[in-house]
Amino acid sequence: MTTTTLAGINVELNDEGFLVDPSQWTEAMAVELARKEAIEPLTERQWQVIRFMRSEYLAKGTGPSVRVLGKTSGVPIKELYQLFTKGPAKTAAKIAGIPKPKGCI
Amino acid sequence: MSDPIEKVSIIISKGSLEGVYPGLIMANGARAEGIEANLLFTFFGMEAILKKRQSHIKVATVGNPGLHMASVVGALPGMSALATHMMEQKMDKLDIPSIPEFVEMISDTGCGMYACQASVDLFGLKKDDFIEQVEEIITVGDFYAKAAGGEIIFT
């Protein structure tokens, strides 16, 4: 666990770099979280996935897996991996300030 | 913290349902974590990528102690189909994709997919017998070259 400042707000990140308290997240923070993942600037298509991850998390309490993302976000799996080369669900969740999605598939 | 795994090359050598899924799940999971992945299908594992076979992969009901079914019962006509049907229903409830769908999805994640040259020769197959996601038929030497710098997992 580390404490850092993102977009002017003091936040805690877990060992994998996920925001500990999702309620602290702001869109300005997403830009800085994306920079840590070497994504800069965020494209509109990446924003679409990030916002979708966040709304799913707020509605269901957990972020979707890559498979569910591919079926429901409107962005196919091939493109998801182009947008987030280090794993779409994991990376988009991190930038969206929500916990890493669980599940094996 | 230990060094993270950056790359895995997974070999699928068995042609039963329980022989195919673990390797697929590991390959898909690797890509989801941002880990580079390759899949090599060899011997009966090639069933998963053969156009005519991939939709007909069954649970092994003979010589499978984990099923807790006597082999003489497992050998009865239709037992393998029944066990497979039950397993597939459960998987569907858990939203686990079928083998054809899963293989296509894993290919979309950017995982390399290959068939083993020796097995292709042995079974008298051609590149055209395989689904389009199979990039190449490769030798063991080619496989080691592709696997260089990563972990190799045999299933």
Instruction: Report the distance separating Cα B23 and Cα B155, nearest Å.
Output: 6
pLDDT digits (tens, 9 = 90+) for B78-107: 999 999 999 999 999 988 999 999 999 999
Instruction: Report the distance separating Cα B131 and Cα B138, nearest Å.
Output: 15
Q: Look at A70 and B105 and tell me if their CB atoms are within 8 Å.
A: yes
User: Whole-model pTM?
Assistant: 0.92
Known catalytic residue at A85 = no
What pLDDT shows up at residue B21?
A: 97
The phi and psi torsions of B115 (rounded to 5 degrees) equal -110, 150
Q: Look at B34 and A89 and tell me if their CB atoms are within 8 Å.
A: no
Q: Look at A89 and B32 and tell me if their CB atoms are within 8 Å.
A: yes
Instruction: Report the distance separating Cα A58 and Cα A98, nearest Å.
Output: 9
Angle between helices B99-108 and B17-32 (to 10 degrees): 30
Portion of chain B with pLDDT greater than 70, in percent = 99
Instruction: Report if residue A57 sits inside a domain.
Output: yes
Helix or strand (DSSP H, E) at B30: helix B17-32
Nearest alpha carbon to residue A66 among A51, A47, A81: A81
The encoded tokens of residue B37 equal: 């992945």
The tally of domains found in chain A comes to 1
Instruction: Report the distance separating Cα A68 and Cα A60, nearest Å.
Output: 13
Q: Which residues of chain A have pLDDT under 70?
A: none
Helix ranges (DSSP H) in B33-108: 71-74, 79-93, 99-108
Q: Which residues of chain B are within 8 Å of residue A67 when distances are taken between CB atoms? A: 95, 97, 105
Instruction: Report if residue A103 sits inside a domain.
Output: no
Set out the domains of chain B in order of their start, with CATH numbers. 1-55+98-155 (3.40.1260.10), 57-97 (no CATH)
What pLDDT shows up at residue B95?
A: 87
Give the domain CATH number at A83.
Answer: 1.10.10.370
Chain A residue with the nearest C-alpha to that of B21: A105
Catalytic residue of the set A1, A38, A104, A105: A104
Helix or strand (DSSP H, E) at A28: helix A27-36
pLDDT digits (tens, 9 = 90+) for B48-86: 999 999 999 999 999 888 989 888 999 999 999 999 999
The answer, yes or no, to whether the previous bond of B4 is cis (omega within 30 of 0) is no
Instruction: Report if residue A105 sits inside a domain.
Output: no
Q: Give ipTM to 2 decimals.
A: 0.90
Average pLDDT over residues B8-33: 97
Instruction: Report if residue A100 sits inside a domain.
Output: no
Instruction: Report if residue A104 sits inside a domain.
Output: no
What pLDDT shows up at residue B14?
A: 97
Note which residues in 64-103 of chain A have CB less than 8 A from chain B.
65-68, 70, 76-78, 81, 85-91
Domain with A7 in it: 2-95
The reply to whether B95 touches chain A by the CB within 8 Å rule is yes
The reply to whether B96 touches chain A by the CB within 8 Å rule is yes
Instruction: Report the distance separating Cα A76 and Cα B84, nearest Å.
Output: 29
Instruction: Report the distance separating Cα A51 and Cα A97, nearest Å.
Output: 10
